Amino acid sequence: MPRSLKVGGVTPFTATDYPGQVAAVVFVQGCPWQCGYCHNTHLQPRLQKSPLQWSRVLGLLEKRVGLVDAVVFSGGEPTLDPALGNAMRDVRRLGFKIGLHTGGAYPHRLVELLPEIDWVALDVKAPFEQYEKITGVSDSGQQTLASAEAIIASGIDHEFRTTVHPALLSEDDVIELARSLSGMGVKNYALQVFRAQGCKTKELKATAIAGYPSADLVETLRQMFPGFVHRPA
């Protein structure tokens, strides 16, 4: 019997997870990284058993036909799951568009999945050589860099996005990262300010973030990317 996707949760309706589309979101269980600002820490462990059976999730999605346009696979890190491609094809057969939220931890798998996907959001957490301070994993930036290059080369509709917190990234760090993304050909970039909801790291929650990012930084980014979005806390 083929392996099934391990699903940690489902959001049946959202207007904010796939630009311009009403979507359902499937949260895949498991992530190889440990970002301090993670607001889905319950999705980090790769469990032996799937909290939700894929057949039941598919049944729920069948009932959303005509009500939502797309299904977004999020996480955790969805590309960690070898069953993701089959799950995407199951969803495609129901007539939905396919979205993906990923941190880019598995670039080789992402390359295989890109033909199945209509839109991808890539979390770019820091300048690539500074990744370990966010993810806790050495060389993780090289994985995201390879994923970013694959997305750009594919021409797929995309959003690159960075979650920012003043204790983790200075404004100079953000500018350095933005320059490298712009140089790679990224057109759509979102700056997401840290939100405390769901975060388990006391130090991040205790740090005041009023006035961050500055209006100057936001304006600089707006001029760098034709599709720039600022998402305040």
Q: Are strands 97-102 and 70-74 parallel, antiparallel or unpaired?
A: parallel
Q: Does 11 bind ligand SF4 (CB under 6 A)?
A: no
Residues 35-74 that bind ligand SF4 (CB under 6 A): 35, 38, 40, 43-44
The DSSP bridge partners found for residue 11 are: 25
Q: Does 121 bind ligand SF4 (CB under 6 A)?
A: no
Q: Does 31 bind ligand SF4 (CB under 6 A)?
A: yes
Shorter beta-carbon distance to ligand SF4: residue 34 or 170 = 34
Q: Does 28 bind ligand SF4 (CB under 6 A)?
A: no
Q: Does 76 bind ligand SF4 (CB under 6 A)?
A: yes
Torsion of the alpha carbons at 18, 146, 152 and 190, rounded to the nearest 10 = 40
Interface region with ligand SF4, contact rule CB under 6 A, candidates 26-34, 91-99, 149-157, 180-188: 26-34
Q: Does 122 bind ligand SF4 (CB under 6 A)?
A: no
Q: Does 77 bind ligand SF4 (CB under 6 A)?
A: yes
CA distance 19 to 122: 14
Q: CB under 8 Å to 103, separation ≥6 — which residues?
A: 31, 33, 77, 122, 123, 125, 135, 144
Q: Does 75 bind ligand SF4 (CB under 6 A)?
A: yes
CA distance 146 to 75: 20
- Three-state SS annotation for 6-39: CEEEEEEEECCCCCCCCEEEEEECCCCCCCCCCC
User: What's the min distance (Å) between Cβ of 8 and ligand SF4?
Assistant: 10
| Residues near ligand SF4, by CB under 6 A | 31, 33-35, 38, 40, 43-44, 75-77, 103
